[in-house]
């Protein structure tokens, strides 16, 4: 039979009760000795080692791609009473600003993060406990943990630092002397630079001319010996060659050379601004770089006749409770085409390929800090009016940073439409874990040939970016052909 005192000790320990350690039963003399040792240890125990019941609140992972969060606003301050369910703060993740809810009760004893600071996931941000409770041990433990991870290398700490040599002269006279020396040396250089050439020409009987003047005279075919020098000691310089007119040339060609074009001086100032990278932009950069450099992209472009789609949209909007856009028709056509070509509605998972039987369309939405992709779930089962209303609602939430994780996760295919900005054609980077993304351009009024005659037409280009690990060219082409047929005969969208 198990020892009842040991069972009681284990039960109280699991409940979080602080107890002095005890050993299994001994003889009376050993038990008496143990009791005496326990009493001595209890009297000698430091105050900072007493039981701490405070609750540590750490930065939670609020999305599958979140690595850190920004503390946007605190709703509680130190000393406030906190109940379970109270909102402690607002946290900006890589996709939205979300409320941080407390699941404990107590008094807010410590705030570990300032407003506006970025905090890695699992870092301590607050401590709850009883009013007046000592949390110095918790803070010291966290500090020791952080310092242990970032301890400097011994070599760097022990590297000797050699003192700088003392200046030979006082600082101010040295600076003044250096300034004077710089100014005088510049003047001396300008005045004495041609001196060696002049001395050489005097000693060797050569014509005194600068190298630039000699080169210029050679290019113009002039005899430098006929040119009079205006430089120091009669030295020929550039201006002498440029202004020289040969006697024969003056008789045969009296016309003066064309004056050089003088450009006015342009005065400008280089300037720039910098801003910290937001959590959203960091995630966009990381995920798209991973996609571009790990997934072998290839692209399929198709030009689609949108005349029938435009006419059908005008008719539908006469009776629809919400306005139907061309993008709503694109979403519906993609969803129906994916149902017929499930190979495009797939994902690469490393050692296997997942073919999705459901159709969840992600629609890229531009926001101030980057790009969000809210998801229209089961889009193949929804009508145009339903898709239109849901797209507008999700886009508004995205711009206000109010999207919830369930509204941006789970896409199986993504659409990026820049047609409203007048972009005719572009390519998009695949949005993991999808195998494809469709880039939609604007609808253009262009002349087209129909039945041998040139007539006005409306055309739209789309480009399908495919992950070649999952989708082959033939599979992507068949999907695009079905998509084109649905838009060119939009009544098929209603079947």
Please give the positions annotated as active site: 468
- Count Cβ atoms below 10 Å from residue 411 Cβ, excluding itself: 24
Q: What is the CA radius of gyration of the chain?
A: 40
- Count Cβ atoms below 10 Å from residue 346 Cβ, excluding itself: 24
Question: What CA–CA distance (Å, rounded) separates 427 from 438?
Answer: 8
Q: How many degrees, rounded to 5, is the angle at CA 141 between CA 135 and CA 145?
A: 150
Omega of the bond leading into 433 within 30 degrees of 0 (cis): yes
Kind and range of the H or E element at 97?
Answer: strand 97-101
Question: What CA–CA distance (Å, rounded) separates 45 from 37?
Answer: 12
Assign 143 to helix, strand or coil.
helix
Do β-strands 436-450 and 413-417 pair in parallel, antiparallel, or remain unpaired? parallel
What's the residue count for the chain?
495
Question: What CA–CA distance (Å, rounded) separates 428 from 284?
Answer: 13
Tokens of 94: 């890589």
Residues 66/278, Cβ–Cβ less than 8 Å? no
Q: List, as one string, the DSSP characters of 186-246.
A: HHHHHHHTTHHHHHHHHHHT---B-HHHHHHHHHHT--GGGSPP-SGGG-B-HHHHHH---
Question: What CA–CA distance (Å, rounded) separates 225 from 243?
Answer: 15
Helices (H), 153-210: 154-158, 171-192, 195-204
Burial 131-155 (b: 16+ CB within 10 A, else e): eeeeeeebeeeeeeeeeeeeeeeee
Residue 380 DSSP label: G
Question: What CA–CA distance (Å, rounded) separates 291 from 201?
Answer: 71
Question: What CA–CA distance (Å, rounded) separates 431 from 290?
Answer: 10
Kind and range of the H or E element at 138?
Answer: helix 136-149
| Residue of 52, 74, 46, 50 lying closest to 130 (CA atoms) | 52
| Backbone φ, ψ for residue 180 (5° rounding) | -65, -40
| Backbone φ, ψ for residue 246 (5° rounding) | -60, 150
Assign 235 to helix, strand or coil.
coil
| Residue of 246, 299, 340, 262 lying closest to 461 (CA atoms) | 299
Residues 398/372, Cβ–Cβ less than 8 Å? yes
């Amino acid at each position: 039979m198990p020892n009842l005192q040991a069972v009681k000790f284990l039960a109280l320990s699991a409940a979080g009760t602080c107890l002095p350690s005890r050993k299994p039963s001994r003889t009376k003399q050993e038990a008496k000795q143990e009791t005496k040792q326990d009493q001595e240890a209890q009297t000698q125990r430091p105050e900072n080692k007493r039981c701490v019941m405070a609750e540590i609140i750490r930065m939670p992972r609020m999305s599958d791609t979140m690595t850190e969060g920004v503390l946007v606003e605190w709703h509680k301050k130190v000393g406030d009473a906190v109940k379970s369910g109270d909102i402690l703060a607002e946290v900006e993740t890589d996709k939205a600003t979300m409320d941080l809810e407390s699941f404990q009760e107590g008094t807010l004893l410590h705030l570990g993060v300032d407003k506006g600071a970025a905090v890695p996931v699992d870092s301590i941000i607050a401590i709850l406990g009883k009013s007046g409770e000592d949390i110095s041990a918790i803070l010291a433990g966290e500090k020791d943990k952080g310092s242990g991870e970032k301890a400097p290398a011994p070599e760097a700490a022990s590297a000797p630092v050699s003192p700088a040599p003392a200046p030979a002269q006082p600082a101010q006279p040295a600076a003044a002397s250096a300034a004077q020396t710089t100014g005088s040396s510049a003047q001396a250089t300008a005045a004495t630079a041609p001196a060696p050439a002049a001395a050489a020409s005097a000693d060797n009987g050569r014509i005194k001319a600068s190298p630039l003047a000699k080169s210029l005279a050679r290019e113009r075919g002039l005899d430098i010996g006929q040119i009079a020098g205006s430089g120091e000691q009669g030295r020929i310089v550039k201006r002498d060659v440029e202004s020289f007119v040969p006697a024969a040339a003056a008789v045969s060609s009296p016309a003066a050379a064309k004056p050089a074009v003088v450009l006015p001086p342009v005065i400008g100032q280089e300037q720039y601004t910098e801003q910290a990278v937001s959590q959203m932009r960091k995630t966009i950069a990381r995920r798209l770089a991973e996609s571009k450099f790990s997934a072998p992209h290839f692209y399929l472009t198709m030009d689609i006749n949108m005349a029938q789609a435009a006419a059908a949209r005008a008719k539908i909007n006469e009776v629809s409770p919400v306005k139907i856009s061309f993008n709503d028709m694109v979403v519906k056509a993609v969803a129906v085409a994916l149902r017929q070509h499930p190979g495009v509605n797939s994902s690469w998972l490393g050692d296997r390929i997942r073919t999705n039987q459901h159709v969840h369309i992600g629609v890229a939405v531009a926001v101030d800090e980057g790009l969000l992709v809210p998801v229209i779930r089961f889009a193949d089962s929804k009508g145009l009016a339903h898709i239109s209303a849901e797209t507008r609602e999700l886009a508004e939430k995205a711009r206000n940073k109010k999207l919830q994780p369930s509204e941006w996760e789970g896409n199986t295919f993504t659409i990026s439409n820049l047609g409203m900005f007048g972009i005719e054609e572009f390519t998009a980077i695949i949005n993991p874990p999808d195998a494809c993304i469709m880039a939609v351009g604007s609808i253009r009024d262009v002349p087209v040939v129909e039945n041998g005659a040139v007539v006005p037409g409306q055309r739209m280009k789309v480009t399908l970016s495919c992950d070649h690990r999952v989708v082959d060219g033939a599979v992507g082409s068949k999907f695009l052909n079905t998509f084109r047929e649905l838009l060119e005969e939009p009544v098929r969208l209603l079947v």
